[in-house]
Structure 1
Amino acid sequence: MVEPMELYDVTIIGGGPAGMYAAFYSGMRDLKTKLIEAREELGGRMLIYPEKMIWDVGGFAPVVCQQLIAQLAQQATVFDPTLVFGQHIKHLERKEDGTFVLIADSGEKHWTRTVVLALGRGILKMAKLDIEGADRFEITNLHYTVQELEPFRGKRVLISGGGNSAVDWANELQPIAQSVTVVHRREMFGGHEKNIIRMKQSVAAVRTPYALTQLHSEDGQTIGKVTICHVETGETEQLGVDAVIVNHGLKSDFSGINEWGLQMDDWNVYVNGKLETNVPGIYAAGDFVNFDSKVNLIAGAFSDAVLAVNSAKLHMEPEAPRMAYVSSHNDRFKEKNRALGVADE
């Protein structure tokens, strides 16, 4: 029995900024495009910090992250790609004609001529606080992400962690919280240098090298105090808190994609300057990739997406133009410009 199939030119796995822009640019290249996202919405890692201000995307100064997600999602659908949500792609089969079958954990299959992997950091799960009984406070005042700032207004907030998100949350909460205390087990912080400097200048209580070791509650439902411990001397002290935010890193799950024969490390796939992986027909973009001139910015993810889609196009059509015409001279936009009331030149 012949399996029913609808063959796509490009299938993008991942709906973060790289995946969304790849879907848009693939339309610019007149390619039949599908985007598969494991979550039920587009946004990728940006969904972790919807209220964060984004300053480093060209043409936006500044923009709230959730607004940027919405505009990227709108742009991604300009050329009507097929969008598939809630599917974790696990397996890959290569047919004799060189096309691929992507198989989800549900068993659903997707046929495609090329693949663009825009997995970001994979399916991310927050590393939980390793203190017995901590989980009972997750419904009250123990948090692993900051979805909204307002609930922390006037509160004594303790942030445990030193990564990029911890630094950003400290900077965002400082103006509205009664107090912000940052506890980190190392002297060095991760994230952008400018943000770290800002945090150290504005947040009065930055405690290093300390670790959060105990949670104390009088009613058994909310955390009222915490114990922090100096990691070198063992000295401890208690701090009163109204909210605890934990940012101890992320655990990543690539749903079996790391078993496809790709050259990878724990977090990234290795690509060349054309964003080609070691498997012909498979390309990658965004935080998932590692190459010599990689730029770890959202703007860099857009550039990666363009290069990956261009390589996919040339893989299928070696005589095609190396890149798409810019939108002001691209025939694909003529009808859309007329719909906006813009006359053709």
Structure 2
Amino acid sequence: MQNQDLYDVTIIGGGPAGLYAAFYAGMREMKVKLIEGKDELGGFLQTYSDKAIWDVGGLPPMKCAKLIEHLVQQAGTFEPTVVLKQTIDTFNHLNDGVFELQTHTGESHYTRTVIIAIGRGVAEVQRLDIHSAKDYERSNLHYTIQNLDYFAGKKVLISGGGNSAVDWALELAERACSVTVVHRQDSFRAMEHNVSQMRRKAEVYTPCHIERFYGNGQRIHQVGIVSTATGETVRLDVDEVIVSHGYTSHVSNLARCGLDMHEGMLVMNQWAETSVPGIFTAGDCAMREGKVRLIAGAFNDAIVAVNSAKKFLEPAAAGMAYVSSHNELFREKNRALHNKPTSSS
């Protein structure tokens, strides 16, 4: 192994936590590699690229796609090495204290510390398990939304009871001809205010579930729904069907690497440390008491994980980086920003 192949920290996962960790590790003058299993950065945000996010501090509401763009740009500030389309299968702790990360492609990556920031893992959508559903996935059966305007003027049926289903119903109520929401329980797993709005703006069937599609093998024309309480069935005319039943992930694969897990998530302490010294974690893949499951919380996790990794490598290092306004690393970058010409109105 040559020195140029050894990194101070390797971040596994290219979502908000991983991207911010890459930036912050650059502030700590660490040699950084970021490995992402998919062919693009952004993590789970890519699933909802057309949805608006309101709760990131200091930023106006923006679509996920735009937030990803900003995060990727920020992560590249200190030019980390980025590897796409590789997932980590195993961790080997070598005699010299170096971790060897082996990927599903057979490649190995060498690093002195690791930050696991894989979010919900390699997420797979929970597909609808009814006859002929797969036949319509190329036409008007959707498991995510990339372009809200595609549904303008159409009769849309949404199956699901979580935040995503409710959010999509509210977004589409402003564009679609009609929105119908079907959920197999009476209560929704979403913000109460949003649920109340949805009930005013959409037709809601609970407790009900999709029983059958009626179509010509190419497009769904009607959906048969059944009441789980009474057994009564109803056929509804539709143009588009959206299924939002959540995702399954493979975070639990990390258990075989000797990392402590609880309820499918990595166990972390207040310093973002896992059960293996030198391996840290951040974001939705981890849990601890008082954990905040927001993007803002993922950023904080990333900072703590990087600072802990830095201290692991250099016990005498400062506990955190200087803020950007006083950090010497930004002196030239600030000068370039001040000298950048402004566009005339």
Change in CA separation of 1:29 and 1:70 when aligned onto 2, cut-off 3 Å:
same
Contact 2:269 2:288 in 1 (8 A): yes
Is 1:237 paired with 2:241?
A: no
Q: Separation in 1 of the partners of 2:193 and 2:83?
A: 38
Contact 2:252 2:265 in 1 (8 A): no
Question: Which of the numbers 243, 250, 273 marks the counterpart of 1:253?
Answer: 250
Q: Separation in 2 of the partners of 1:310 and 1:103?
A: 25
Residue 211 of structure 1 corresponds to 209
Q: Which amino acid aligns with 1:324?
A: A
| Superposition map of 1:39-188 within 5 A | 39-188=38-187
1:287 is paired with a residue whose SS is coil
Q: Which amino acid aligns with 2:76?
A: T
What per-residue deviation string (whole Å, max 9, x for no partner) do you get for residues 187-235 of structure 1? 22123333333322322x1111101110001x22110101111112211
2:262 is paired with a residue whose SS is coil
Contact 1:227 1:236 in 2 (8 A): yes
Is 1:317 paired with 2:318?
A: no
Contact 1:35 1:83 in 2 (8 A): yes
Q: Which amino acid aligns with 2:269?
A: N
Q: Separation in 1 of the partners of 2:133 and 2:37?
A: 28
Contact 1:88 1:255 in 2 (8 A): no
Q: Separation in 2 of the partners of 1:342 and 1:309?
A: 32
Contact 1:155 1:179 in 2 (8 A): yes
1:168 is paired with a residue whose SS is helix
Residue 343 of structure 2 corresponds to none
Q: Separation in 2 of the partners of 1:5 and 1:265?
A: 36
Question: Which of the numbers 328, 333, 343 marks the counterpart of 1:331?
Answer: 328
Q: Which amino acid aligns with 2:275?
A: N
Q: Separation in 1 of the partners of 2:5 and 2:200?
A: 56
Q: Separation in 2 of the partners of 1:332 and 1:267?
A: 39
Q: Aligned-pair RMSD on alpha carbons? A: 1.6
1:83 is paired with a residue whose SS is strand
Residue 280 of structure 1 corresponds to 277
Residue 30 of structure 1 corresponds to 29
Q: Separation in 2 of the partners of 1:191 and 1:298?
A: 17
Question: Which of the numbers 204, 225, 228 marks the counterpart of 1:228?
Answer: 225
Q: Which amino acid aligns with 1:320?
A: A
Deviation, structure 1 residue 341: 2.8
For structure 1, list consecutive stretches of 5 or more residues without a partner in the other structure.
none
| More off after superposition, 332-341 vs 279-288 | 332-341
Number of aligned residue pairs: give it: 340
TM-score scaled by length of structure 1: 0.95
2:114 is paired with a residue whose SS is strand
Q: Separation in 2 of the partners of 1:101 and 1:19?
A: 19
2:83 is paired with a residue whose SS is strand
Identity of paired residues, percent? 53
Q: Which amino acid aligns with 2:300?
A: S
Contact 1:122 1:252 in 2 (8 A): yes
Q: Separation in 2 of the partners of 1:141 and 1:267?
A: 33
Deviation, structure 1 residue 255: 8.1
Q: Separation in 2 of the partners of 1:253 and 1:321?
A: 35
Change in CA separation of 1:277 and 1:336 when aligned onto 2, cut-off 3 Å:
same
Q: Which amino acid aligns with 1:263?
A: D
| More off after superposition, 258-267 vs 322-331 | 258-267
Q: Separation in 1 of the partners of 2:159 and 2:271?
A: 39
Contact 1:91 1:256 in 2 (8 A): no
Q: Separation in 2 of the partners of 1:197 and 1:321?
A: 49
Q: Which amino acid aligns with 1:296?
A: R
1:151 is paired with a residue whose SS is helix
What per-residue deviation string (whole Å, max 9, x for no partner) do you get for residues 91-132 of structure 1? 110011222000000111100011101011000111111101
TM-score scaled by length of structure 2: 0.95
For structure 2, list consecutive stretches of 5 or more residues without a partner in the other structure.
341-345
Deviation, structure 1 residue 133: 1.4
